[in-house]
Chains A and B, each alone.
Chain A
Amino acid sequence: MKKIVIVGGGTGGTILANNLARRLATELASNQVRITMLSATDKHMYQPGLLYVAFGRMAAEDLYQDQRSLLEPGITFHVDPVKTFDLEHNRVETQAGVSHAYDYLVICTGSRPNPESVPGLAEHANHVYTLEAAQKTFAALQQFKGGRVAIVTGVPHKCPMVPLELTFMMHDYFKDRAMLDQVEFYYTYPIGRLHSLENVGKWAQREFDKLGINYETLFNAKEVDGAKQQVHSEEGSVLDYDLLITVPPHNGMSVILENELGAGGWIPTDPATLQMQGTENVFVLGDTTNIPISKAGSTAHYEAETLGENLSTLVRQGTMVRAYEGKVFCFIEAGKDRATYASFDYLHPPQPQSPTQMIHWFKLAYNKLYWNSVRGLL
């Protein structure tokens, strides 16, 4: 029997497990293959929904579904996070002390916000990367009486569109409350333009100029002085704020660091085969890789589809058949009622279109369709 162990039941792991279960249905039924998923929680969170929670447009209960209900029946699922990766002996050990042997291992444990890595940031800034933080951000927006809203982005971070989306959505939030004349927006970005994608950066600059949103580039927060309400940057500038919003820097999960699988918790991964570097039978998906690509659900999705096909042919024929070509597709909310998107891969940059209401409706529809997507029905 071939044993496939998937560590992590988020976007990437769930899509992969269902994809494999369909492709290998015959082998699963005849016990030639076993697919085991080990995860840290029995609830699956639709993380992009957190952005809407921060504006009171989605409720906490809209974000979750029962993880088991998302999985094909043939998949063995345990809520028992992995503690030790013993790659030399093809085994992982869980927190409960259970040892799982594998022929193929897939690691997709995601990433975590780490605002604590910048002194003062966790205490004084609001963000949308956990449910608690998104709810706190909503309260801060509701209570804001006017002044300067500063947006500070850390590196690396999950979902490259959030800095822009937060800014556009806050603009419309205060516009709806007739507060625009009392609010100044000050957007900062780590590199020398407004977004890492050059075309998206140019588009955002035109939109910001139209809306009167101020910006500063080459800005990496070094520390936050909460008493003075100031952010000091690595580049030497000082930014005053009345309300501080951050897209916090991220790290991989601590289990990756503790097992010394990769600096920062990011696992060195082959960009085409998704194999962990230096291994044959260990694969990595989604946020956890060190591939220089967006940490986004759509990245995890396209990677999982490629890997599903490759793992099934590895099981059947001993060979892989496809390369991951770096495909990413991201919606970009450009306010409360219009959106655009960026679609790109390793070789082709995106060409963003002007935002439309139609694309915003697609995004709202996707907020529901996500559950079909992870089930593999889209």
Chain B
Amino acid sequence: MSDSQRVDARNSFCPGPLMELIAAMKLAKVGDELEVLSTDKGSAHDIPEWIAKVGHELLGTREEDGVYYIQVRKSK
């Protein structure tokens, strides 16, 4: 995964990880994979909820040392 597709939203209260992902999704192409890094526990729930609602694809989530890694694919 190239650097440009990594959305590093660690320590971001405002705009926060989901808003960063929405912005990055607008710049991505259909089929691109993005990985969000977040230190906000809420985003482990918020991001999959938004992905499901819009109809993108959730590829996986994991937590390591307090950092959440959430992988998604832009589907439309």
Contacting residues, chain A, for B46 (C-beta < 8 A): 191-192
- Closest residue of A by beta carbon distance from B38: A292
Q: Which of B8, B10, B14, B18 has the most CB of A within 10 A?
A: B14
Q: Which of A155, A271, A350 has the most CB of B within 10 A?
A: A155
Q: Does A190 contact B (CB under 8 A)?
A: yes
Whole-angstrom CA separation of A294 from B16 in the bound complex: 9
Whole-angstrom CA separation of A271 from B39 in the bound complex: 15
Rounded to whole Å, the gap between the CB of B67 and the closest CB of chain A is 14
Q: Does B19 contact A (CB under 8 A)?
A: yes
Cβ contact within 8 Å between A293 and B53: no
Contacting residues, chain A, for B22 (C-beta < 8 A): 155, 190-191, 220
Q: A234-B54, A263-B27 are in contact. Are A191 and B18 (CB under 8 A)?
A: yes
Cβ contact within 8 Å between A191 and B27: no
Q: Does B57 contact A (CB under 8 A)?
A: no
Cβ contact within 8 Å between B9 and A292: yes
- Closest residue of A by beta carbon distance from B17: A292
Chain A 137-175 residues near chain B, CB threshold 8 A: 155-156, 160
Q: Does B11 contact A (CB under 8 A)?
A: yes
- Closest residue of B by beta carbon distance from A264: B27
Cβ contact within 8 Å between B18 and A192: yes
Rounded to whole Å, the gap between the CB of B17 and the closest CB of chain A is 8
- Closest residue of B by beta carbon distance from A328: B14
Which residues does B use to contact A, with CB under 8 Å?
4, 8-20, 22-23, 26-27, 42, 46, 49-50, 53-54
Contacting residues, chain B, for A293 (C-beta < 8 A): 12, 14-15
The listed residue (B8, B11, B15, B26) touching A196 by CB distance below 8 A is: B15
Q: Does A117 contact B (CB under 8 A)?
A: yes
Whole-angstrom CA separation of A196 from B40 in the bound complex: 12
Q: Does A198 contact B (CB under 8 A)?
A: yes
Whole-angstrom CA separation of A293 from B20 in the bound complex: 9
Which residues does A use to contact B, with CB under 8 Å?
117, 155-156, 160, 190-192, 196-198, 218, 220, 234-236, 249, 263-264, 271, 292-294, 326, 328, 342, 344, 346-347, 349-350
Contacting residues, chain B, for A344 (C-beta < 8 A): 13-14
Q: Knowing that A196-B16, A292-B10 touch, tell me 9 more A-B residue pairs with CB under 8 angstroms.
A: A156-B20, A191-B22, A191-B50, A192-B49, A196-B19, A218-B53, A264-B23, A293-B14, A346-B11
- Closest residue of A by beta carbon distance from B11: A346
Cβ contact within 8 Å between B54 and A156: no
> What's the dominant secondary structure at chain A's contact region?
loop
Cβ contact within 8 Å between B23 and A294: no
The listed residue (A117, A190, A236, A350) touching B13 by CB distance below 8 A is: A350
The listed residue (A155, A198, A218, A234) touching B23 by CB distance below 8 A is: A155
For the complex of A and B, the 10 pairs showing the least CB-CB separation, nearest first, are A292-B12, A346-B11, A196-B14, A196-B16, A191-B18, A156-B23, A292-B9, A155-B22, A235-B53, A196-B15
Contacting residues, chain A, for B23 (C-beta < 8 A): 155-156, 264
Contacting residues, chain A, for B14 (C-beta < 8 A): 160, 196-197, 293-294, 328, 342, 344
Whole-angstrom CA separation of A292 from B11 in the bound complex: 8
Contacting residues, chain B, for A117 (C-beta < 8 A): 26
Whole-angstrom CA separation of A278 from B11 in the bound complex: 21
The listed residue (A235, A326, A342) touching B11 by CB distance below 8 A is: A326
Whole-angstrom CA separation of A220 from B53 in the bound complex: 11
Contacting residues, chain B, for A196 (C-beta < 8 A): 13-16, 19
The listed residue (A155, A328, A346, A347) touching B19 by CB distance below 8 A is: A155
Whole-angstrom CA separation of A169 from B8 in the bound complex: 34
Cβ contact within 8 Å between B15 and A263: no
Contacting residues, chain B, for A235 (C-beta < 8 A): 50, 53-54
Rounded to whole Å, the gap between the CB of B70 and the closest CB of chain A is 14
Cβ contact within 8 Å between A191 and B11: no
Cβ contact within 8 Å between B15 and A294: yes
Whole-angstrom CA separation of A271 from B11 in the bound complex: 10
Whole-angstrom CA separation of A328 from B12 in the bound complex: 12
- Closest residue of A by beta carbon distance from B42: A198
Cβ contact within 8 Å between B19 and A192: no
Cβ contact within 8 Å between B42 and A190: no
- Closest residue of B by beta carbon distance from A326: B11
